[in-house]
Amino acid sequence: MSSSTSRSRAANFGGAPVRHGRLRQVGPVVTALRLVGIALAVVLVSTATVSAVAIHGAVSQIKPGIHIEHLAGATSAPPPGIGATDGEVNILVAGTDTRTGQSGMQTKDQLRGSSGIGNNDVTMLLHISSDHTNATVISFPRDLINVPICGGAISSAMFNTTLSRGLSCTVQTVEKMTGLTVGYAAVVTFDGVIGMSNAIGGVTVCLATPVKDRYTDPPLDLAAGAQTLVGPTALSFLRSRHGVGNGGDLGRISNQQVFLSALVRKITNDSVLKNPLTLYKLATAALTNLQTSDSMSNPTTLVALALTLKSIPLSNIVFIQYPSAAAPTDPNRVVPIMSAGNALMEALQSGKPLALSGALGAAAVADAAASTGSPSPAGPSETPPTESEAPEAAPVTLPPSITGQTAAQATCTKGL
């Protein structure tokens, strides 16, 4: 599948109709195509013989793709060859808070609070430039209001209600706010986060202070220092609001950025992105834990998308929070900072690397051990450049109201 390209969008109002995502029925022909694609991928990247039983097992766990109706060409297609996807890539991931179908005992209050498709309490957009020299991960606060819900008029509805209207609505909202075309999207559940953290063997993060949160499930009680997070504990850490930063959603976003930057360094240090067979295994694991758009519902596509990241230096992978400020009418809500949002939109469409001028997020502090030259628990903070790297374009400096960090920065989570 060819990648999406950025397109110009109005910064304020737009009239695109609401189109919900719908599940596409998977027939025997599509299943056969996926089977052939997976078999070809195994042959291309592995010198070992892989049994037909193992291939069938991987295919049988792939969920039907969600069809995003308004995206031209974003439908199921024969898997691409092994290699990086061409051009710009935009992938949206929505973390749902639904309790439906999740493992463990779900109380009536939990099911009443969120069931069905649920709300998108976590929404991130991964943008990879067309020349694959830089990447940006944008986190959208769940409590944002005054945004173009489903790509339409500005609404007082909270941003995290978009998923309950369908994944397509979340995609269209993000497209209008960023000016980018989203070609790939996925929904991840609580169980999916646990499964993926297990698949990568956990992530070691730095805690500047103890982190405690009795509201998570399971409750958090982590000591300061290096902590390797895996399984349900990793889920609680990523979902924690009451235990990090300022006790709110914005602190949770910066806490997730600490985790994700450590994850990127782990993957880079373990040479995961340089091993197609390992990538293939991780892609298959992802497909069993995610509900993806049908544009990325086979392992080979995920491998191709991952390979677009393999040559990007850590300093050019930037994690940012969409610029927002407290809503004048409600202290529990935030509204976009329009000037900074428009500057971000222009910067993303330029394709150039982004430079941060703002501070770290509310729950992040610099890793003092890394600044003194001691090894960080998450590994070295940067990979040395190679002689073959071409000179890169001058970065675009973002307004100081946009907070975040790069993957090269070693940071620690700050508890309450």
Q: Of 277, 301, 294, 298, nearest to 61 (Cα)?
A: 298
How far apart are the C-alpha atoms of 86 and 66, rounded to whole Å?
23
Q: Which amino acid is at 143?
A: D
- What class, spelled out in words, does domain 22-381+394-413 have in CATH? alpha beta
Q: Going residue by residue through the chain (416 aa), what tens digit of pLDDT does each one get?
A: 444 444 444 444 333 333 344 444 444 444 444 444 444 444 444 433 333 444 444 555 566 788 887 664 444 455 555 677 889 999 999 988 755 554 554 555 554 555 456 788 889 999 999 999 999 999 999 999 999 999 999 999 999 999 999 999 999 999 999 999 999 999 887 676 777 777 788 899 999 999 999 998 889 999 999 999 998 999 899 989 999 998 889 999 999 999 999 988 988 877 777 777 777 777 777 777 778 888 887 777 877 888 888 889 999 999 999 999 999 999 899 999 999 999 999 999 999 999 999 999 999 999 988 754 444 444 444 444 444 455 667 999 999 999 999 999 999 999 98
Per-residue pLDDT at 38: 43
Q: How many CB atoms lie within 10 A of CB 32?
A: 11
Residue 344 near residue 140, CB atoms below 8 Å: no
Per-residue pLDDT at 81: 58
How far apart are the C-alpha atoms of 1 and 183, rounded to whole Å?
9
Alpha helices of 295-401 — where are they, by DSSP H? 299-307, 338-350, 368-371
Per-residue pLDDT at 70: 67
How far apart are the C-alpha atoms of 130 and 296, rounded to whole Å?
18
Per-residue pLDDT at 195: 75
Phi-psi region of 259 (alpha: psi -120 to 50; beta: other; left: phi over 0): alpha
Q: What are phi and psi of 126, to 5 degrees?
A: -95, 120
Per-residue pLDDT at 52: 43
Residue 89 near residue 3, CB atoms below 8 Å: yes
Residue 211 near residue 247, CB atoms below 8 Å: no
Q: Say whether 25 sits in a helix, a strand or coil.
A: coil
Every domain of the chain and the residues it spans: 22-381+394-413
Name the helix (H) or strand (E) containing 165. Answer: none
Give me the residues paired with residue 137 across strands: 126, 319
Six-digit token pair at 161? Answer: 């209600």
How far apart are the C-alpha atoms of 69 and 63, rounded to whole Å?
18
Which residue carries 């498709």 as its tokens? 117
How far apart are the C-alpha atoms of 238 and 202, rounded to whole Å?
13
Per-residue pLDDT at 320: 97
How far apart are the C-alpha atoms of 161 and 168, rounded to whole Å?
12
How far apart are the C-alpha atoms of 147 and 136, rounded to whole Å?
21
Q: How many CB atoms lie within 10 A of CB 328?
A: 8
Per-residue pLDDT at 45: 41
